[in-house]
């Protein structure tokens, strides 16, 4: 099996060819999400992206947003994980774990990592389902897919966590 490597790119540095290849990957992994046919992000442009390439084409991707929330007067920084995808013919090779590890290393000084995803996929990487995350611009209800990982020696807040801005 070929050893893969994750490549970090700031979103602002993507050229038109890289953007087109990214959108093709996103559409193939998220065919129900029509936004990717016209843009390279779901709800807002992320700051960071990681790619894994095979034969000159991206086969895996992960994006991160740098955000914060306030809970009981204290500000917490978090990395919002978004657009995690692996081309079907490259699944089962540990690429998601490698991408998550790179993103978490980049954001190691942050308090938490938050993603919206499937428990069966992300639990193995240390993410825990929580039921107290609200996206103020999305819904008055807690997000049912929210999962968190503590990146520092802190506990996740037990009360309601309100995130200003769209879901990532």
Q: Where are the domains of the chain?
A: 6-163
pLDDT tens-digit series, residues 124-143: 999 999 999 999 887 788 98
Residue 115 contacts residue 122 (beta carbons within 8 Å): yes
Decide if pLDDT at 2 tops 70. Answer: no
Task: Determine the average pLDDT of the residues in 27-43.
Answer: 94
Residue 22 contacts residue 69 (beta carbons within 8 Å): no
Write the CA distances from 95 to 35, 115, 118, 137, integer angstroms: 24, 17, 16, 32
What's this model's pTM, rounded to 2 decimal places? Answer: 0.91
Fold of 6-163: Aminopeptidase (3.40.630)
Contacts of 29 (CB under 8 A, 6+ apart): 85, 86, 87, 88
């Amino acid at each position: 099996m070929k050893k893969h490597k994750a490549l970090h790119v700031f979103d602002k540095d993507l050229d038109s060819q890289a953007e087109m290849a990214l959108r093709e990957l996103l559409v193939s992994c998220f065919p129900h999400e029509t936004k990717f046919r016209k843009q390279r992000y779901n709800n807002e442009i992320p700051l960071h992206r990681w790619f894994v390439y095979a034969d000159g084409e991206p086969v895996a991707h992960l994006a991160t947003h740098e955000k914060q929330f306030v809970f009981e007067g204290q500000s917490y920084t978090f990395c919002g994980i978004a657009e995690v995808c692996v081309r079907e013919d490259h699944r089962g090779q540990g690429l998601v774990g490698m991408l998550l590890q790179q993103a978490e290393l980049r954001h190691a000084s942050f308090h938490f990592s938050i993603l919206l995803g499937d428990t069966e996929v992300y639990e193995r990487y240390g993410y825990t389902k929580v039921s107290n995350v609200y996206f103020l611009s999305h819904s008055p209800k807690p997000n049912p897919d929210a999962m968190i990982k503590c990146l520092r020696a802190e506990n996740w807040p037990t009360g309601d966590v309100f995130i200003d801005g769209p879901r990532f």
